[in-house]
Amino acid sequence: MTSSLLAILVLPILGALFFAFYPVKPKSLSALAAIFSYCYSALTSLTAILALASDSGFSIQSRAFHLGVSGFEMIPRFFLDGCNASFVLLLGLCPPVVFTLLRDRECRYGKSYYACAFALVAALAGVFTSDSLLLFYFFWEAALIAVYFWIGLYGKPGFHAPRVYPVLLRFVLFTLAGSLPMLVSIAAVCAADLRDPGLHGLAAVVSRMAPNVRLWVFGGFLLGFSVKLPLLGFHGWLRDTYNVAPPACRALLSAAMSKMGAFGLIMILAPSFSGEILRFAPQLQILAVMGVVYGAMLTLAQERLIDLLAYGSLSHLSLLALGVFTAVGAGDAATTGLSGSVLLVFNHGLIMVLLFSLDARVLPGEESPDKGLLTGLRGRQRRLTAFLLLAIFASASLPGLSNFVGEILIYFAAFQASPWLVFFAASGALIGAGALVRFFHSVFLGSSSSAGRSEAILSRDLDAGETAIALVLAAIWLALGLYPMLLLHPVERAILFLDPVGWTG
Amino acid sequence: MSPLALLALPAFPAISALALIFFGRRLPYNVLGGIAVGAVAASFALALGFIPMDVLGEGAPVTLDLGPWISTHAFQAALRLRLDSVGLCMVLLVTFFGSLITAYSIGYMREDREQGRFFAGLNLFVASMLTLVLSDNLVLIFLGWEGVGLCSYLLIGHYWDQPGVPLAAFRAFFVNRIGDIFFLLGVFTLFGAFGTVSLSELHAHGSELIVGHEKAAGLAALLLLGGAFAKSAQAPLHVWLADAMAGPTPVSALIHAATMVTAGVYLLMRLDWLYSVFPQARMVIGICATTTLIVGALLALTQTDIKKILAYSTLSNLALMFLALAAGSSGAAMLHLFGHAFFKALLFLAAGSVILAAHHEQDVRRLQGVLKTLPITRLAFWVGCIGGAGLIPYLSAGFFTKEAVLESLRNSRLDGFGLHISGGWLYSIVLVVESLSALYLFRLLGYLSSDDREAAYAHEPESGHGHDGNPREKSRSVRLVLGILALAAPSFAWFSGRLVPLHWGHVFPSLVANLALAAGCFAVFSTSRRRELLFKGLARFSVFGGGGVGPLTRLFYFDDVYNALLVLPLKAAAWLLRLVFENIFIGALSAMGWIGERASFLLRRLQTGNVQRYAALMLLAAAFAAYFLLRG
């Protein structure tokens, strides 16, 4: 199994190199990318499922490195267990959806487009599986670099952003403002122990630190994760970056890259800094709930699907953070909240990748459908509309679809902290869902004769292949919604290993 | 029969729904309908198979345990199905009406489009409703609860390109989701207090476990009411039901009259032990239900859309069930649930037949005299109206069931929040308001049987009409189902007469009064001259819509209040956030970037490339350093 774990990391790097340097004909680029993503997806999904099924997961590890005169020790180690397998599974499932639904038939994009895409996938795979903090940071920034070039090379001015570069710059600065403090924290942790303790050894090192140092280290990590997720107040990059990014990039950004922040919250912050989280629990929980409500309220005032999705994403990811912040110190309910957050990561990712892909798929120019200009699109795009509605209902956490399970577990954990958290979070979720459904009604339903644009410029409906991949996602939602123990059981078992019941600070 | 058959009950229609979604467009229409009817009928047959198993009455329930559904260290909800007496009655009701109405739909939807989607929706609805009824815990009930809501939404939106339809579907979706928040909060509170969400465990041990958790349990009881009120369209969450009539008529009959809207009643029946402990909760039920009862009956009296008249009458009848629950009599509520299903399904299906014959005309003023050439529909309408108004004992499906509710109210008493309402008061209110049902049903019947031939439908020479240009009952399945139900409703009336003792002394005066009202109303509304006279008399009172501003024409201002208090502030706040807050926030970020840029331009001036200046600066810096180092 270790070899397949290695392949998860190496394959996308090879893919990126292949697309960067091998002279592929422009016509066959998109097909090659799709085929490559399917192979990668099969391998990754299989490995992740095996890791979920196995008791303790598996890992690869090279010999230790010693750096400099001080003998700083670092052991490059990658692992895959029940906790991070859902992240990896999500990462494996996203690229095929993106490269099928947004297949570039007009050869708009060059080789570097795909090189950036696979570099991003490789970086994400690294973030989700590396056990050493330095490698974690390396991949964290690598993801940023990949996205920087992807948007920089192929971004288009959006509705809210007349120029790409200022937006891109803001995105990079924002992310750096979060990740550089995180680097300082990592350095502090490494310096304290004269070795890289890794994710699994972090808690022990941190517990030996002086309380005020630990607080600063905690702050550095929290900042890095809050920007990436983003939490409320750290979301300044969100809307405009989604606006200028190429559709495939924004789908991966929302579905997978934002999960880097979630990964950090669940795998680093909660286990190692439970005392600090507990200390600031009320503030953090309120911040998360405000994020849910704020994001949802803003979806009400948007006219373009992409903006709705961007703010809806803010709302959902704040809910995820709420799960983490309420789980810590919740005693018995701790595993419930964390399992809910992990499930939400997976489900939210799958829903967002489909929603963002369909959003760009409606109009041929990959623009987002606009409320005022279009109506009655269902007449021409029946399948697309059907899947869009299904995804909207999934994101509204309809029971029977998988997202419900994660949300109800988070609500349960939050309820232990305070019922009002659940009330506001659920009301926020309701407003967000309502806004999305209302948007759907005004654009996709109604009579198409009154449409402001002629029907001719709509894209064709989903073809067989696109329907098949959307059906796979729908089947996953349905299976995990009707029988959630398939995923919940292994996830909770792995989380129990972290011993969250004992996190009382 | 093996307990596994419990799984098959919802599985048949669920599988059929999946098949119809995928292959519905390729199948011939009759095959499509056949599959849909067959799946529901198979569930009905299976449910009949449980009757000999002694489940009914005090018999032992059948349970099927399939392990955990959503289960973690701290939270458990089992995948457990349970069929007891109440459950079996509900299953029989759902599958009986489900199969009949699906069969009816074959005739009704023949000329329609997207039939595959429609029948898949109906099947999925039956599957969800059966899940709701069979689940043994509140979380699994929520699966069915939301499933029926989804189907209701999808089927209301069936004519998705018609104006107004998407909004109607949205309102149903949104109001139900509001109820769901309360439902979920209620479930969590209940779990916090009792440590379980299993209905059978709660029912068995609830009264013991409640000790020490009275406050939480009382809160849970109130919160769960929110969910029940939204689903069963009780004031103030009733606003979606009349809009839901935008869906095809069979949907209105099955979902928005006979089955789904009774889910709230069913939920409270399952938790009757909880509500028997908390008089406050029963007070809330009593007040909301009385409001709904009155609002529904009055609005039914003034509507002109044939389906909306019936929809508001449904509101009123649901309120009657809730009143029985408030009085602590689940039995009466259950009985009226059945009686209402019989006469209301019949009325809706008859209305559907009228609508079909009149080419989707729904305004009763344009449907005058339509029943003349529709013999079976006429029979169905008469049976339904007599049943709904409760005019003739042993023939009216609603007579004994209403009687049971009234009797339960007579001996009840509502206390809570410092208020006391005696059963006598409730009894009188219900007695008066229920006589309105004779009025609105026979007003409708009067219009449809009117002598006047001014209706537009009658003269259009369309294919659906006979040689004389009159509307005809074309569809065999419509006639068949109407016939079956027109027989079944009096049979149920006869059966219910054996369950409810008849106190002639109580009944006689109201019976005579209702008969007189019905006859009078029919006499007035079946001729245009008398109608005009009545309208002239009524026009003096603004309540009845003079000038279009009365409370009746504005639907008692519920929509206006929601708009003013909820929708507009929410939208305004959203735009405020977007325009002010978000723009300032992002603007400030951009400004920071700009300031940074400017600052770097300023700093750049230091880097002139002039070697002498660099050397001077170095010297200066070295001097400073030397000073600080040597100082101490």
pLDDT of residue B126: 96
Residue B58: left if φ>0, alpha if ψ -120 to 50, beta else—which one? alpha
* Mean pLDDT computed over every residue of chain B: 89
The confidence score (pLDDT) of residue B454 equals 55
> Which residue in B75, B143, B170 has the most chain A C-beta atoms within 10 A of its own C-beta, making it the best mutation to test that interface?
B75
CB atoms within 10 A of CB B591: 11
Minimum mean pLDDT among A263-267, A433-437, B194-198: which range?
B194-198
- The arithmetic mean of pLDDT across residues A356-373, rounded, is 87
User: Which pLDDT score is estimated for A305?
Assistant: 93
**Residue B459 confidence (pLDDT):** 47
Query: What pLDDT is recorded for position B588?
Result: 83
* Start-to-end C-alpha separation, chain A: 36
Structure confidence by residue, pLDDT tens digits, B403-413: 999 999 988 88
Q: Which DSSP string corresponds to B104-131? A: HHHHHTTT-S-HHHHHHHHHHHHHHHHH
Flag if A419 and B189 touch (Cβ within 8 Å). Answer: yes
Q: Is the pLDDT of residue A233 over 80?
A: yes
Q: In this structure, how many other beta carbons lie within 10 angstroms of the beta carbon of residue B15?
A: 15
Contacting residues of B for A300, CB less than 8 Å apart: 570-571, 574-575
What pLDDT score does B463 carry? 46
- Token readout for A141 is 């920034």
Best mutation site among A174, A380, A398, A410 for testing chain B: the one with the most B CBs within 10 Å?
Answer: A398
Contact B285, B227 (CB under 8 A): no
Give the integer Cα–Cα distance in Å for A357 and B47: 45
Name the residue of chain B whose CA is nearest to A396's CA. B177
What number is the average pLDDT over the span A494-505? 80
Using a CB-CB distance cutoff of 8 angstroms, which residues of chain B are in contact with residue A406? Answer: none
* Whether pLDDT at A505 is above 70: no
Residue-level pLDDT at A371: 85
Q: What are phi and psi of B425, to 5 degrees?
A: -60, -50
What pLDDT is recorded for position B464? 47
Query: Identity (one letter) of the amino acid at B631?
Result: R
Q: Is residue A56's pLDDT more than 70?
A: yes
Query: Please, are residues A242 and A306 in contact by the beta-carbon 8 Å criterion?
Result: yes
CA distance B531 to B527: 6
Percent of chain A with pLDDT over 70: 98
Q: Look at residue A220 and tell me whether its pLDDT is greater than 80.
A: yes
Asked if the model's pLDDT at residue A205 lies above 60, the reply is yes
pLDDT digits (tens, 9 = 90+) for A295-327: 999 999 999 999 999 999 999 999 999 999 999
Whether the predicted pLDDT of B345 surpasses 90: yes
A-B C-beta contacts closer than 8 Å: 145
If phi over 0 gives left and psi between -120 and 50 gives alpha, with beta otherwise, what is residue B67?
A: left
Q: Does residue B524 surpass a pLDDT of 60?
A: yes
Task: Quote the CA–CA distance of A83 and A396 in Å, as a whole number.
Answer: 25
Q: Which residue has the tokens 């909060």?
A: B185
Distance CA B518, CA B441 (A): 8
Residue A106 confidence (pLDDT): 81
> What pLDDT score was predicted for residue B268?
94
d(CA B310, CA A113): 60
pLDDT at A222: 95
Of chain B, the percentage scoring pLDDT greater than 90 comes to: 58
- Give the pLDDT of residue B461: 46
**In this structure, are residues A344 and A323 in contact, taking their beta carbons and an 8 Å threshold?**
yes
Whether B593 and A166 lie within 8 Å, measured CB to CB: yes
- Confidence band for A55, pLDDT divided at 50, 70 and 90: confident
Q: Could you give the CA distance from residue B591 to residue B330 in angstroms, rounded to a whole number? A: 66
Confidence of residue A88 (pLDDT cuts 50, 70, 90): very high
In the predicted model, is pLDDT for residue A352 greater than 70? yes
Q: Name the residue among B142, B178, B585 with its Cβ closest to that of A236.
A: B585
A411 closest CB neighbour out of B173, B188, B590: B188
Dig out the tokens for A191 from the structure: 């310096």
Q: What is the mean pLDDT of residues A397-425?
A: 93
How many other CB atoms are found less than 10 A from the CB of residue A173? 16
Whether A336 sits inside 8 A of B145 (CB atoms) is no
What angle do the packed helices B330-357 and B306-326 form, to 10 degrees?
Answer: 180
The model's pLDDT over B425-472, given as tens digits with 9 standing for 90+, comes to: 999 999 999 999 999 999 999 999 887 655 545 444 444 444 456 788
The answer to whether the bond into A95 is cis (omega within 30° of 0) is no
- Give residue-wise pLDDT tens across range A184-203: 999 999 988 888 898 988 99
How many angstroms separate the CA of residue A407 from the nearest CA in chain B?
11
Tokens of B32: 């499509």
Contact assessment for residue B326 and residue B412, using Cβ atoms and an 8 Å cutoff: yes
pLDDT digits (tens, 9 = 90+) for B592-613: 777 877 888 888 887 778 888 8
CA dist., res. B157 & res. B305, Å (int):
18
Our CA angle for A397, A400, A402, nearest 5°, is: 60
Residue the block writes with tokens 């009944």: B507
Contacts of A225 (CB under 8 A, 6+ apart): A178, A182, A260, A261, A262, A264, A265, A268, A269
Q: Which amino acid makes up residue B101? A: I
- The Cα A475–Cα A486 span in angstroms is 13
Note the pTM of the prediction, 2 decimals.
Answer: 0.92
The residue-averaged pLDDT of B70-76 equals 88
- d(C-alpha A400, C-alpha B141), whole Å: 11
Query: A71 by DSSP, 3-state: which?
Result: coil
pLDDT of residue A116: 95
Q: Which residue out of A297, A298, A390, A443 would a mutagenesis test of the B interface target, given it has the greatest number of B Cβ atoms within 10 Å?
A: A297
Q: How far is A166 from chain B (nearest CA, A)?
A: 8
Q: Give the model's pLDDT for residue B457.
A: 53
Cβ–Cβ below 8 Å for A399 and B586? no
Quote ipTM for the complex: 0.92
Residues 6+ positions from B365 with CB-CB distance below 8 Å: B304, B447, B455
> CA A457 from chain center: how many Å?
32
Give the per-residue pLDDT at B271. Answer: 92
